[in-house]
Amino acid sequence: MSDDKKQLWGGRFTAPPDETFAEFNDSFRFDQRLFAADVTASIAHANGLQRAGIISSEEGNSIVDGLKALLNEASENADHFATAKAEDVHSFIEAKLIEKIGDTGRKVHTGRSRNDQVATAFRLWCRDEIDAVIELIRRVERSLLDLATRHQDAVIPAYTHLQRAQPVLFAHWCLAYFEMLERDVERFGQARERTNVMPLGSGAVAGTGFPIDREAVAQELGFDGLSKNSLDGVSDRDFAVDICSAASLLMVHLSRLAEDMILYASTEFGFITLSDAVSSGSSLMPQKKNPDALELLRGKTGRVFGNALALLTMIKGLPLAYNKDMQEDKEAVFDTIDTIGISLRAAAVILNNTSLNAEAARNAAATGYLNATDLADYLVAKGMPFRIAHETVGKAVLFAIEKGCELNELELGGLSQFSELIEEDVYERLSLASSLAARSAVGGTSPERVREALAAARSKLEK
């Protein structure tokens, strides 16, 4: 057995692990992603041991220098350790340290367990990834605002039940997704707060047996606080669930965006065009230009939900405190972070390669009786109770359908047979421009409100 692979717990055993068991048990092939985080935490731990006088300053310096050298080797060549053999990243690092500095390396694990060690390294890794995810969400937000700005005055139909409902500014549609992503930023921020708590010092389960100043170690690692109970410290994976559930909602939003855009890019809608750079063709049908990128955005949502559910199921029913089941936390979070990372990068690129076919969208917004509510509101403004106005306009719509025209294409005589309150000024009220302008309450689609919302969104991003 190579030295890399020597177990941390060999003393009590007289026989080596079965090969299949080892393959089943080992996590190094995936948890090596925690390498830098675990070395960083080990450096802070060694400093803590030294400050407490548990190891001498020579020993402390030797351990810290050895660990830093390992970090350098890994940063110079990302694949440096990729094929090494080890049970997990923690035993790997300890073995490498001993190889590098000799017996002093055997002191690094004083006063800690892999149980508090893995929780600490995992939280450090997650914290940095959350920051990266928030940056990527911002990138998509910026792309949405740019798309809205490229088509400032454009109008599209808004849908309910996927039936044309009322006209809205295209920018208003863009800003709806901006709002969703803002909540995602907030949710990841909250997940970060719960992630950025240091379990190191919890030991295996009962707390460390050495007088290490946990506050100082936490400060060195940039943690905002300490876990307050050792049983909870080593077994809390709520932060991983927080991350995976924030990721699930993020993917819900990207998936809904994708679905809207897939529909809008279809010949039937024809509202948007995706550039060639983000479209694919068919191997058989020469005419096809497919929105594969958007479909993948929608399709990758399922695995992110799956990861969240896998984590919840893994934790449910676990007796306190650490159980090996918990080793399953990493792949769920790694896959989630990888999936949302590429999805966000793709979403930004897709939006940057999207253009609105303003005329087609406007025509769709101007036909199909999307101004029926405006006619009802017009009657209400002239004193008619809304319920009666609704009924009246319903009849007018039926009449227009029979005539094969829009409400605003009916002659005044045709319209006023439904109510004598309808006068010449009705045509102005039925125009697309008045329909938009009328929705001027906060959150509405009037050009003025949307201009403000766009500016507010911009300044939020610039902060």
Is residue 115 part of the contact set for ligand ARG (CB under 6 A)?
yes
Which C-beta is closer to ligand ARG: that of 12 or that of 324? 324
Is residue 326 part of the contact set for ligand ARG (CB under 6 A)?
yes
Q: How far is the CB of 341 from ligand ARG (least distance, A)?
A: 22
Which C-beta is closer to ligand ARG: that of 327 or that of 373? 327
Which C-beta is closer to ligand ARG: that of 59 or that of 88? 88
Q: How far is the CB of 106 from ligand ARG (least distance, A)?
A: 18
Q: How far is the CB of 440 from ligand ARG (least distance, A)?
A: 56
List the interface residues with ligand ARG, window 21-40 (CB under 6 A): 27, 31
Which C-beta is closer to ligand ARG: that of 167 or that of 203? 203
Rounded Cα distance between 243 and 238, Å, is 9
Q: How far is the CB of 115 from ligand ARG (least distance, A)?
A: 5
Q: In the block, which residue shows the tokens 């009705």?
A: 426
Rounded Cα distance between 71 and 432, Å, is 63
List the interface residues with ligand ARG, window 351-370 (CB under 6 A): none
Rounded Cα distance between 172 and 169, Å, is 5
Q: Please confirm, yes or no, whether 390 is among the known catalytic residues.
A: no
Q: Which of 71-79, 186-194, 244-252, 323-331 is the region at the interface with ligand ARG (rule: CB under 6 A)? A: 323-331
Is residue 373 part of the contact set for ligand ARG (CB under 6 A)?
no
Rounded Cα distance between 193 and 47, Å, is 25
Q: How far is the CB of 34 from ligand ARG (least distance, A)?
A: 9
Is residue 311 part of the contact set for ligand ARG (CB under 6 A)?
no
| From 57, 75, 275, 282, the catalytic residue | 282
Is residue 236 part of the contact set for ligand ARG (CB under 6 A)?
no
Q: How far is the CB of 31 from ligand ARG (least distance, A)?
A: 6
Which C-beta is closer to ligand ARG: that of 38 or that of 260? 38
Q: Please confirm, yes or no, whether 446 is among the known catalytic residues.
A: no
Q: How far is the CB of 121 from ligand ARG (least distance, A)?
A: 9
Rounded Cα distance between 256 and 246, Å, is 16
Q: How far is the CB of 332 from ligand ARG (least distance, A)?
A: 12
Among 74, 93, 118, 396, binds ligand ARG (CB under 6 A): 118
List the interface residues with ligand ARG, window 34-93 (CB under 6 A): 88
Which C-beta is closer to ligand ARG: that of 204 or that of 216? 204
Which C-beta is closer to ligand ARG: that of 86 or that of 364? 86
| From 161, 227, 230, 253, the catalytic residue | 161
Among 45, 107, 112, 114, binds ligand ARG (CB under 6 A): 114
Which C-beta is closer to ligand ARG: that of 31 or that of 184? 31
Q: Which residues are catalytic?
A: 161, 282
Residues forming the site for ligand ARG (CB under 6 A):
27, 31, 88, 114-115, 118, 322, 324, 326-327
